[in-house]
Amino acid sequence: MNKKMSFLSIIVILVLVLTGCQATQSAQASNTNTTGQFNGTPPAGFNPGQAPGSSVAATATPTATLKPTATATATTVPVTAAAVSQAKAYFADLQNKDFTAASRLTSIVSLSYAGLTRPQAASSLQAQSLAGTTWSNLQIVDSQVFSDDTILVHVTYTAGTTTGTATPQATATATLQIAASATAQASTSTTAAAQKDEVWAFRLESGSYLYNWDNLIDTKTVEVDAQTANHITIQPTQLVRFTDHLELHFMMQNKTSDVVYFVQSYDTLAIFHFGDQVVEAAKSDNQIVISGLRTAYDEKIVVKGLYTSYPTWVEIKKWQGYAPNPWYTFQF
């Protein structure tokens, strides 16, 4: 009996041991297949859910957002800057008496109108210098675009005119072995300075702005029929603009044997119509005289001022109470 009980006890113990081993193996297998429940510290290189060999990047350091570099705003260069620069260069040549260089900064169009070449323009400036003219103290007042090819530059400067004068005789006596008296006449010079306030015209020519000789702006050819009044025939041919005046050029034919003084104190020489603006030509600025039975091909009437447009029509020789009145009317 005791032997049977001992045998059964051994069998029960063996069954319990075997059952415990199976439970242990089952738990190990379960832990091996469930990676999502891993609670331990992963080994180096461990990368759950990613391809073998890849690694988890460290927490990214936030990249500083760089503010866009502000683009420097270019300083706006005035459209007239090139002409202003040429004005300074032209004046520097005058001041330094380099008249050949000054002539190179002069437009061909304006010289052609004046009937000059560049060497002749340089000679003309040289003649002014020899006569005592000097240039100094240039100031640029302002500048503006006048047209597609013309820029006007308002300048002031000092123009000096030097004239020679003689001092009273000075007598110097030198006493060496022989006493001698020498008379020396010393000359001095005086300079009369005049402040100039002018508008200079610069024309775009071959890619550069060049000074217009005599401040010519432009010209306009007119085609109108000739008119005759009191045996005097007139036919306008050209309108010419400068920065300080406008000129009407015309052919004039005297069919009488008398000398004609076209400017009279009792009449109005000419009235120019610029749209609604009416401008009278001052008789003091015009002297027109033509001999009997002669033809003058380039007489002119001058009206002062700077005009942004040409006149639309003109009345010439207008006198209240005289018939016909005016003598001539030309539409342009």
Give tens-digit pLDDT for 161-220. Answer: 866 554 444 433 333 333 333 334 444 556 688 999 999 999 999 999 999 999 999 999
What pLDDT is attached to residue 200?
98
Identify which has the larger pLDDT, 257 or 323: 257
Give tens-digit pLDDT for 88-141. Answer: 999 999 999 999 999 999 999 999 999 999 999 999 999 999 999 999 999 999
Task: Please compute, for residue 204, the number of CA atoms within 13 A of its CA located in the half-sphere on the CB side.
Answer: 12
Give tens-digit pLDDT for 74-95. Answer: 556 789 999 999 999 999 999 9
Averaged confidence pLDDT in the chain: 80
What pLDDT is attached to residue 22?
54
Identify which has the larger pLDDT, 5 or 171: 5
pTM of the model: 0.70
Backbone phi and psi for residue 304, each to the nearest 5 degrees, phi listed first: -75, 150
The rounded distance, in Å, linking the Cα atoms of 215 and 233 is 31
Q: Answer whether 258's CB lies under 8 Å from 295's CB.
A: no
Tell me the domain boundaries of the chain: 81-167+184-215, 222-331
Backbone phi and psi for residue 260, each to the nearest 5 degrees, phi listed first: -105, 120
Neighbours of 292 (CB within 10 A): 11
- In degrees to the nearest 10, what's the CA dihedral of 21, 23, 26, 31? -110
Q: Answer whether 332's CB lies under 8 Å from 314's CB.
A: yes
Q: pLDDT grade, residue 5 (50/70/90)?
A: low
Residue 22, exposed/middle/buried by CB under 10 A (0-12, 13-18, 19+)?
A: exposed
The rounded distance, in Å, linking the Cα atoms of 85 and 102 is 13
User: What CATH code is assigned to 81-167+184-215?
Assistant: 3.10.450.100
Q: How far is CA 66 from the centre of its chain?
A: 40
Domain 222-331 has CATH 3.40.50: no
